[in-house]
Structure 1
Amino acid sequence: MTRPHLPADGADTVGAVGEFGVIDRVVARAGTAALADVGPGDDAAVVRTPDGRVVASTDVLVEGRHFRRDWSSAEDVGHKAAAANLADVAAMGAVPTALLVGLACPAGTPTAWLEGVAAGMAAECAPHGAAVVGGDTVASAPDSAAVVLSVTVLGDLQGRTPVTRDGARPGDVVAVAGRLGWSACGWAVLRRGFTSPHAVVTAHRRPSPPYAAGPAAADAGATAMCDVSDGLLADAGHLAEASSVVLDLDRGTLQSFVEPEGPLAQVAAAGGGNALAWVLTGGEDHAILATFPAAADLPAGFVRIGVVEAGPAGVRVDGIPAADVAEGLGEVPGHVHFG
């Protein structure tokens, strides 16, 4: 199990090493992007775009909001920051090519911790031929002790038509690939001061999005798609709103994501929460949610969880509005960023 990184001595901090010393050490851990003609160290990076179109997305991770250094190692944070962005590219039907990272941190931040973040990001990106190709570092406000990471990802569609959120039509089926509820369960475990079951704690520290599912869904004719970052009900709501349709989800199928002997059931049985609530409202697993024509063959890894119907835009579970279902479980439908 990874261990949270403990503060280093005062001689090995961002303030002591200096901006360019930090950059040199972080770049040494960044890896190499297969499509980068110019990487870190210049005024800007140059990344080839074989498709002729660039898919781009940005996520911001704030210490205390998205990660805690006493819960996660530096490498964990790097993996998580990269995964959140790579999943956005996959959810468009594309593959990642490069990342740009903006960092704000206190002068007392251990430089070795930032190297660990860079190593984690490089490891998450390497299987895709992607890497960090540039970015910026700044000192955070004097009264702030939090680290902030802003990550922008670039991707390539490889000739595919991008799959957006607004293409779902009545009669389509709703399907999902990847885990649901594991990160939320892991958060609940950590919040109670435990680190077991290891599987869900790791899922919170280092999400495992089904990256290949996005391009596979696009190739299979997916009509709409997004990743599940804020919770299934919330993100299904975003897709329903964009497509002006109703997504009616099957509670029995979603209940099956709680394996009787699996870690979600174990934690819930120990009094740590409601397993179905994690599946429906927990975010940060970055599963891929998509709709397909009824006659389409679902790609490997996708599970049918509902149907698309006509009506005022929204999400239902067995015909019951999502908000009512979440309230019955003692939850809100998903993560509220300014709530």
Structure 2
Amino acid sequence: MTADTPVPSDGPLVAELSEDALLARIFPLLPVGADTHVPPGDDAAVVAAPDGRFVVTTDVLVEDRHFRRAWSSGEDVGRRAAVQNLADVAAMGARPTSLVVSLVMPGDLPVSWVEGLARGLAAECGPLGVGVVGGDLSGGPVVVVAVTAHGDLAGRAPVLRSGARPGDLVAHAGVVGRSAAGLALLEAGRADLDRALVDAHLRPVAPLAAGPLAAAAGATAMLDVSDGLLRDAGRIARASGVRIDLDAAALAADRERLGVVAGELGGVAERWVLDGGEDHGLLATFPADSPLPVPFRVVGRVGEGSGVSVDGVPAPARSGWDHFAG
């Protein structure tokens, strides 16, 4: 067995069950959610939208592009798929209410892997009262997990990327660089060196409650840091027509946490911190006189101009993760 070979499993394969039989195994594992009026089982679910509006976002995980089955259990992928979508809802200042999940899979995929996926979705969604209310199943050459998430703004205005103003504080909630360091460990075959960093890649933990708290505290702009701190700060800068200057000293503890692994692998901790994606923290801007909600910490300031800099030095134009970069 090679490092990229999926772990074999006892029990039936997907091809050995009908769609109805597979769904019968999945549905009992999924949370219904407090806002769900009609759960899975009909042509569509019905979910409450008490605000009169709803936040909607979608994301996709493709096998061998975003995860490898040799590294990731079904539960790992289910947790990642949930978190990356729930974080986008939180970044709008909203409370997640429901997910719809579509799954493409080869016939030789163990049913136990699919059940693990459902358990991973439930592990992230259940404690938040978020329902997994439907989706679709299809066959294909590799596993593809597509998730659409919905959220409730609770009467507040959404927090956009375009609201940052010169003089605002730049603040971050969550961790940076850990998922990238964990991926580097997996690629090097050194997962044993720091299991916590590997787990940060396989099962990222997002500060979901911080999104609505930031909105209530007057955040002027916010987004989910999925493609790296520099790249995503640049998105706020472009949308708002401002310059964002990050403070290297504010990120020193993050670099120090990754220093041992960087030394062992010949990597650069600073690059993981600034360019590493998939930690799913929240980057937000706040008026300078606004108290920051926990767990946000100041990591920079908003100024006149354009682009992103670190201690006044302009960041490279091409930073972070790009799905279509060569």
Q: Give me the TM-score of the superposition, normalised by structure 1.
A: 0.92
Instruction: Determine the C-alpha separation between the residues in 1 that align with 2:25 and 2:241.
Output: 49
Alignment match, 1:128: 128
Matched, 1:288 2:282: yes
Matched, 1:315 2:308: yes
Is contact 2:247–2:299 with CA below 8 Å preserved after alignment?
A: yes
Q: Tell me which amino acid in the other structure corresponds to 1:314.
A: G
Q: Tell me which amino acid in the other structure corresponds to 2:296.
A: F
> What value does the CA root-mean-square deviation take over the aligned residues?
1.4
Is contact 1:97–1:155 with CA below 8 Å preserved after alignment?
A: yes
Is contact 2:92–2:223 with CA below 8 Å preserved after alignment?
A: yes
Secondary structure at 1:88's aligned position in 2?
helix
Instruction: Render the CA deviation track for 1:216-258: whole Å, top value 9, x for unaligned.
Output: 1101100000010000000001111111111011112122322
Q: Which moved more, 1:180-189 or 1:15-24?
A: 15-24
Instruction: Determine the C-alpha separation between the residues in 2 that align with 1:272 and 1:20.
Output: 50
Is there any run of 5+ residues in structure 2 with no aligned partner, and where? none
Distance apart, 1:83 and its partner CA:
0.3
Within 5 Å, give how 1:82-161 maps onto structure 2: 82-140=82-140, 144=141, 146-161=142-157
- Paired residues in the alignment total 320
Is contact 1:5–1:113 with CA below 8 Å preserved after alignment?
A: no
Alignment match, 1:6: 7
Is contact 2:60–2:145 with CA below 8 Å preserved after alignment?
A: yes
Instruction: Determine the C-alpha separation between the residues in 2 that align with 1:310 and 1:237.
Output: 14
Change (3 A) 1:45 1:272: farther
Matched, 1:333 2:319: yes
Instruction: Determine the C-alpha separation between the residues in 1 that align with 2:131 and 2:112.
Output: 19
Secondary structure at 1:211's aligned position in 2?
coil
Secondary structure at 1:96's aligned position in 2?
strand
Matched, 1:187 2:183: yes
Q: Tell me which amino acid in the other structure corresponds to 2:50.
A: P
Is contact 2:85–2:148 with CA below 8 Å preserved after alignment?
A: yes
Q: Give me the TM-score of the superposition, normalised by structure 2.
A: 0.95
Instruction: Determine the C-alpha separation between the residues in 2 that align with 1:60 and 1:300.
Output: 30
Secondary structure at 1:64's aligned position in 2?
coil
Change (3 A) 1:15 1:282: same
Instruction: Determine the C-alpha separation between the residues in 1 that align with 2:21 and 2:246.
Output: 52
Is contact 2:35–2:131 with CA below 8 Å preserved after alignment?
A: no
Instruction: Render the CA deviation track for 1:81-132: whole Å, top value 9, x for unaligned.
Output: 0000000011001111110011111111111110100000011111210021
Instruction: Determine the C-alpha separation between the residues in 1 that align with 2:312 and 2:228.
Output: 19
Find 1:271's aligned residue among 245, 265, 275: 265
Find 1:214's aligned residue among 192, 211, 220: 211
Instruction: Render the CA deviation track for 1:139-186: whole Å, top value 9, x for unaligned.
Output: 11xxx2x10010000111112211010000111110101000000000
Q: Tell me which amino acid in the other structure corresponds to 1:256.
A: A
Within 5 Å, give how 1:161-310 maps onto structure 2: 161-196=157-192, 197-259=194-256, 262=257, 264-310=258-304
Instruction: Determine the C-alpha separation between the residues in 1 that align with 2:252 and 2:160.
Output: 27
Instruction: Determine the C-alpha separation between the residues in 1 that align with 2:48 and 2:241.
Output: 36
Change (3 A) 1:109 1:291: same
Q: Tell me which amino acid in the other structure corresponds to 1:300.
A: V
Instruction: Determine the C-alpha separation between the residues in 2 that align with 1:306 and 1:183.
Output: 22
Q: Tell me which amino acid in the other structure corresponds to 1:187.
A: L
Instruction: Determine the C-alpha separation between the residues in 1 that align with 2:66 and 2:308.
Output: 26
Secondary structure at 2:254's aligned position in 1?
coil
Secondary structure at 2:154's aligned position in 1?
coil
Is contact 1:58–1:153 with CA below 8 Å preserved after alignment?
A: yes
Instruction: Find runs of 4+ consecutive structure 1 residues off by over 2 angstroms.
Output: 4-9
Instruction: Determine the C-alpha separation between the residues in 2 that align with 1:165 and 1:182.
Output: 24
Q: Tell me which amino acid in the other structure corresponds to 1:132.
A: V
Distance apart, 1:5 and its partner CA:
7.2
Q: Tell me which amino acid in the other structure corresponds to 2:271.
A: A
Alignment match, 1:77: 77
Secondary structure at 2:255's aligned position in 1?
coil
Alignment match, 1:328: none
Percent sequence identity is: 55
Instruction: Determine the C-alpha separation between the residues in 1 that align with 2:136 and 2:230.
Output: 35
Secondary structure at 2:12's aligned position in 1?
coil
